[in-house]
Amino acid sequence: MDYFPIFLKLTDQPVLVVGGGEVAARKIDLLLRAGAQVTVVAPELIESLITLANQGTIRYLQGEFAPAQLTGMCLAIAATDRQPVNAWVARHAEQLNIPVNVVDDRELSRFIVPAIVDRSPVIVAIASSGDAPVLTRRLREKLEAFLPQRLGVLAGLAGRFRSLVKARIEVPAARRRFWENFFDGPIAADVLAGRSGPTSVEAQIDASLQAVNATDRPAGEVALVGAGPGDPGLLTLRALRALQNADVVLHDRLVSPQIVDLARRDAERVYVGKAPGATHVTQENINALLVKLALQGKRVCRLKGGDPFIFGRGGEELEALAAAGIRFEVVPGITAAAGCAAYAGIPLTHRDYAQSLTLVTGHCKGETDQVDWDLLARPGQTVVFYMGLGHLDDIVTRLRERGVPAERAAAVIEHGTQSTQRVITGTLADLAQKVTQAQVTSPALLIVGEVTRLHDTLHWFNTTAPRADEISAFAFSNEGRLSA
């Protein structure tokens, strides 16, 4: 982050603006809206500023800028069309530690003025650190269109009730929930639509406040949420909502940090995945933690990679919650098979190649192997192995033993849907060797079936990244190991 975003209270604070043209006038307009005491220095002013000066709304010092004019100012803006003057203002302001903005010159500026959407008291500020003003403007247009016109009225209303609500509902979590219900509920909808007058609205808020039992701890609940395979864009709207409502977020290894970042700033984040060197939190401990947090009245978001009900042990967690009588909801996510296949350009079914699809865990060694390999060996289908990377040789052997031809196409997708995604295609005969060469790391998904051949023509994602086989050929030739 190149800039620290803040909102500055300027009511009755002295601000110096150097320059008397259109650009200065726009800044002055904004400063006056924020209640600042504006002094403008310039040899001459445009018409609109003369009017303001004559009305006494701004103070006008006619002439050239002199450093002494900065004394006592809490902010300065240089908006002349003469660069040396702007630079001079900036230098003196810096010396006095007065934050300065030089219009259209971020090098000389201590602060930049963002584009804003003003629904006062709600103000949305947007900046691109000075890199892309046109993009900033586009974003502003989008927000203008998206944010209800009467948002400010709603926020003002909430502001008037804030201290009353605080006095009436002591438990902070309960208070937050009151406000969440308020903003999601019918009163807010009426205000935003302009349907009801202020008196009836205030009476309604009063009534809903009366209905809240002041000392009640709110009941906790758990949302079991699928975060998808990695790309934050694949999160559902409902998942986003659950994340933002949560007091605590429990996440594991497969959930990307950008997604965890979408939680409320003050939400507690608990990592419960496996990490190299760290002690592994057992499933029993996770179940117990979920129950404990919910019993404390917290709203818990249990974030899982992909879909929580597909090789995610989500069912076990819900059983523990159900046994403890805790309310829960489940938000499905895009499972790795769907996400990886889409981003690899591999249709999981296709009329010419595959009429059925099986999702199976590749964690299928020894006595615990309950997989019906004869079924998986049949032609005309696609089989997706989760957690199969470490057992690739074993999987190939078992399929081959059941008569699957060596030339059956297959693919491994590493870090599917993420910027580091790689797709390695081959056949049962050579895939394992290619995967070893490419030094594929977890998470990776194995897809066995003729549909994987379509990757060659249908791949679309990350196409500018070097292909896995190119990377490995390069790495191996560099190390002089490419002999076989």
Query: Which spans of this chain sit near ligand SAH (rule: CB under 6 A)?
Result: 229-230, 254, 304-307, 310-312, 335-336, 340, 386-387, 413, 415-417, 442-445
Nearest-angstrom CA–CA distance, 61 and 283: 72
Beta strands 248-251; 299-304: pairing state:
parallel
E strand or H helix that includes residue 469: helix 468-478
187-206 exposure pattern, b = at least 16 Cβ within 10 A, e = fewer:
bbebbeeeebeeeebeebbe
Nearer to ligand SAH, 108 or 310 (CB): 310
Nearest-angstrom CA–CA distance, 156 and 31: 21
Let me know if 3 is exposed, middle or buried by CB neighbors in 10 A (0-12, 13-18, 19+): middle
Nearest-angstrom CA–CA distance, 453 and 409: 7
CB of 408 to ligand SAH, least distance (A): 19
Q: Please give the distance of CA 377 from its chain centroid, rounded to a whole number.
A: 41
* 123 φ/ψ sector (left φ>0, alpha ψ -120 to 50, else beta): beta
Residue 403 corresponds to which tokens in the numbers above?
């008569």
- Rounded to the nearest 5°, which phi and psi values hold at 473? -60, -40
Residue closest to ligand SAH (Cβ): 306
CB of 452 to ligand SAH, least distance (A): 14
- Residue of 78, 21, 29 lying closest to 57 (CA atoms): 29
Nearest-angstrom CA–CA distance, 329 and 319: 12
CB of 350 to ligand SAH, least distance (A): 21
CB of 425 to ligand SAH, least distance (A): 15
CB of 443 to ligand SAH, least distance (A): 4
Nearest-angstrom CA–CA distance, 188 and 155: 10
CB of 230 to ligand SAH, least distance (A): 4
3-class SS at 348? coil
Do 304 and 255 touch, CB atoms closer than 8 A? yes
Provide the annotated active-site residues.
252, 274
Tracing tokens 């758990």 back to the chain, one arrives at 222
Q: What angle do CA 219, 247, 328 make, to 5 degrees?
A: 50
CB of 331 to ligand SAH, least distance (A): 13
